[in-house]
């Protein structure tokens, strides 16, 4: 748990942020859509030299679309299973945290676990993008379906009790994977490979749910969008700051804070 409750996002930070890691669903998006103000904020950060890297539980299919069409540096997907990034030729390259053999073994076990989950918790079913996932499974709790939160928590705890299984609730999904990684591990691995001169202290992270706890734990400048409030009582690791606005509109607040910090830094 944080030493104190989250506080309001400041107008600017004392030192510039070089990389922004961000969740996607209900952090960049709101009510299922990407607000145009949020897309513009992403572009403004890119032009200012601040690198933005979505770190999401979204499927490989969504990640491929995002890295090809949004103004972002890279995308870390399926809760840290891989990152996607364009190379010098503009081609999208995927870097996995596990070997192909291990991924195949894990997927066979996940398939069996998925059947067991839906037998024990009949209110829960797969997300519509499950066919586009390469290394994990996701259950729909609040996207197309409306699963009671107590049922979602019970399913999460049952899955966590299984050997080597990781399970995390997001605002819309229950994400499940097998592998020695999480969002924070892979974000730090990406940072070390692509920008070894930087550390977590040069970064910020913004998210909205318990699925982001590893990031809140490992990144000192951690921010929750306003809609994270409903999850705080269930979270061991909370963000340091909270925005006034929800979803992508909260992300716009963070972008304004970071851009103001750059302006102030150049006038010193």
Return the H-helix or E-strand segment holding 183. Answer: helix 183-194
CB 81 within 8 A of CB 95: no
- For the beta carbon of residue 143, count every other beta carbon within 10 angstroms: 18
Q: Looking at the predicted structure, is the pLDDT value of residue 208 above 90?
A: yes
Q: Over the stretch 217-255, which tens digit does the pLDDT of each residue have?
A: 999 999 999 999 999 998 999 999 999 999 999 999 999
Give dist(CA 121, CA 6) in Å, integer: 34
Q: Over the stretch 133-181, which tens digit does the pLDDT of each residue have?
A: 999 999 999 999 999 999 999 999 999 999 999 999 999 999 999 999 9
pTM here is 0.93
Q: Looking at the predicted structure, is the pLDDT value of residue 266 above 60?
A: no
Mean pLDDT of 193-211: 96
Instruction: Report the percentage of the chain scoring pLDDT > 70.
Output: 96
Indicate the DSSP class of residue 55.
B
Can 7-96+181-266 and 100-178 be said to share one CATH topology? no
Q: List strands edge to edge, sheet with 75-77.
A: 75-77, 82-86, 92-96
Query: How is the chain split into domains, by residue range?
Result: 7-96+181-266, 100-178
Give dist(CA 228, CA 5) in Å, integer: 13
CB 183 within 8 A of CB 79: yes
CATH 3.90.1070.10 is held by the domain 100-178? yes
Mean pLDDT of 195-216: 96
Identify the band that residue 262 occupies on the pLDDT scale cut at 50, 70 and 90: confident
- The token pair at 100 is 């192909």
Which pLDDT does position 267 carry in this prediction? Answer: 44
- For the beta carbon of residue 157, count every other beta carbon within 10 angstroms: 10
Which pLDDT does position 1 carry in this prediction? Answer: 43
Q: Over the stretch 19-72, which tens digit does the pLDDT of each residue have?
A: 999 999 999 999 999 999 999 999 999 999 999 999 999 999 999 999 999 999
Query: Domain 7-96+181-266, what fold?
Result: Rossmann fold (3.40.50)
């Amino acid at each position: 748990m944080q030493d104190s409750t989250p506080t309001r996002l400041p107008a600017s930070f004392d030192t510039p942020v070089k990389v922004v890691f961000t969740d996607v669903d209900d952090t960049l998006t709101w009510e299922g859509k990407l607000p145009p103000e949020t897309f513009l904020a992403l572009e403004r950060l890119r032009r200012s030299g601040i690198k933005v890297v979505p770190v999401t539980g979204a499927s490989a299919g969504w990640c491929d679309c995002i890295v090809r069409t949004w103004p972002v540096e890279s995308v870390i997907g399926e809760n840290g299973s891989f990152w996607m990034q364009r190379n010098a030729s503009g081609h999208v390259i995927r870097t996995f945290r596990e070997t192909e053999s291990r991924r195949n073994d894990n997927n066979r076990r996940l398939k069996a676990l998925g059947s067991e989950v839906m037998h024990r918790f009949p209110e829960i079913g797969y997300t519509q993008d499950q066919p586009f996932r390469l290394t994990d499974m996701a259950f729909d709790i609040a996207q197309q379906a409306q699963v009671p939160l107590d049922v979602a928590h019970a399913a999460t705890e049952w899955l966590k009790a299984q050997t080597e299984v990781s399970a995390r609730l997001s605002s819309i999904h229950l994400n499940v994977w097998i592998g020695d990684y999480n969002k924070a591990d892979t974000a730090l691995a990406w940072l070390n490979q692509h920008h070894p001169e930087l550390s977590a202290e040069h970064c910020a992270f913004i998210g909205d749910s318990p699925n982001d706890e590893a990031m809140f734990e490992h990144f000192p400048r951690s921010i929750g969008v306003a809609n994270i409030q409903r999850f705080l009582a269930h979270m061991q690791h909370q963000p340091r700051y909270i925005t006034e606005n929800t979803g992508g509109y909260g992300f716009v607040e963070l972008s304004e804070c970071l851009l103001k910090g750059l302006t102030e830094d150049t006038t010193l």
